[in-house]
Amino acid sequence: QESVSAVVIDGYPDRALWVKEFSNFFIPQMDSRLEAAGNYKINWQENYGGSIVKPKGVLEGVQLGLGDIGIVTTIFHSSKLPSQGISGSTPFVSSDARAVAKAVDEIAREYPAMQNEFAAQNQVYLATGVVLDTYQVFCSQPVASVADLEGRKIAGAGLNLRYLEGIKDAAGVRGGLTDFYNMLQTGLADCAMLWPEAAVTFKIAEVGPYMLQADLGAVNSKTVTVNADYWAKLPDEVKATLQDVAIEYRDHLAGIAMDRAAAAHAAYTEAGGTIVEVSADDRAAWAGAMPNIAAEWAETLNGNGEQGTEMLAAYLGKLEAAGFVGVRDWTAE
């Protein structure tokens, strides 16, 4: 039996869902398969929670070889990893983490864009992770429909602030997950966009008891990658096992995200929250009033010499095949 060492890095602490599942699912799966084959054994060194890199530093950490394997939070890197914005740029399509994870991952394998972007950062793409089912809008005051969001201050982070461009006079307020409770409580924001599981974790029902079920959609935010120099030296058997387990990790993680999401709805109402359904017309109207950020996304990729337009169509086609049709056709125009 030959020994191989592997340093795994993430800037998030080990209590984060995807980190915990990396320790409790990915690594044991690798170990048991390699042990069954009997040729190799991996000595793991896990460094999470800022002990080597901060959350934003994982991409560079893997690039520079400070970690052999990393869980990159791709939403921090719109500039270096533009293609990773694929699901964030196509809201109102699917709130199923499993379907989105699978579709994004297949796009990564069928089109070179995502792998090229990681290759430019000296790393090899392994798999996509989706850890949330869908963004919803949580408000401190009663809301009956999307129209009630007009003129409000709505907190969000990153790309989802752009969804607000579809709502008249809504002002986006930037904030992180840990800030939303405070922002709603003090009136710094009237509403906040986050996903139900996080809403339960951060006790949002206490300050934002009205959840507008807008089903903005699941978003891919994590990618497992391997340093390219390290990859080149790995035995083929280990490479193949990593690739197989990565796909299982992708589905495992998305499955847990969905289980938690289902439980979160119940926990939210139990904690005093009210869930307000949004009509299909309202969702279509919101989506229709937005700029076509999906087209902007495809345009950016086309400009980089990638097949942006084709990727967009293929991605939405995969989701449609899985039974998810958006309220707006992002490929039109």
- Contacting residues toward other proteins, per CB under 8 A: 7, 13, 45-47, 49-54, 56-57, 60-61, 64-66, 78-80, 82, 151, 153, 158-159, 161-162, 171-174, 178-179, 182-183, 185-186, 188, 291, 293, 296, 300
State in angstroms the smallest separation of the CB of 24 from other proteins.
16
What angle do the packed helices 308-321 and 97-110 form, to 10 degrees? 140
State in angstroms the smallest separation of the CB of 15 from other proteins.
10
Nearer to other proteins, 24 or 186 (CB): 186
The answer to whether the beta carbons of residues 116 and 228 sit under 8 Å apart is no
Please state the φ and ψ torsions of residue 61, each to the nearest 5 degrees: -60, -45
Cα gap 61→13, rounded to integer Å: 16
Nearer to other proteins, 227 or 241 (CB): 227
Nearer to other proteins, 207 or 278 (CB): 207
Please state the φ and ψ torsions of residue 50, each to the nearest 5 degrees: 80, 5
Nearer to other proteins, 7 or 127 (CB): 7
State in angstroms the smallest separation of the CB of 171 from other proteins.
5
CA trace torsion 79, 85, 90, 92 (10° rounding): -120
Nearer to other proteins, 1 or 79 (CB): 79
Please state the φ and ψ torsions of residue 194, each to the nearest 5 degrees: -155, 180
Q: Which tokens in the block code for residue 148?
A: 């009630």
State in angstroms the smallest separation of the CB of 114 from other proteins.
17
What angle do the packed helices 236-270 and 97-110 form, to 10 degrees? 150
State in angstroms the smallest separation of the CB of 56 from other proteins.
6
The answer to whether the beta carbons of residues 319 and 100 sit under 8 Å apart is yes
State in angstroms the smallest separation of the CB of 153 from other proteins.
6
DSSP bridge partners of 274: 210
State in angstroms the smallest separation of the CB of 212 from other proteins.
19
CA diameter of the chain? 65
Nearer to other proteins, 49 or 112 (CB): 49
Residue 160: how many other CB atoms lie within 10 Å: 21
Nearer to other proteins, 61 or 129 (CB): 61
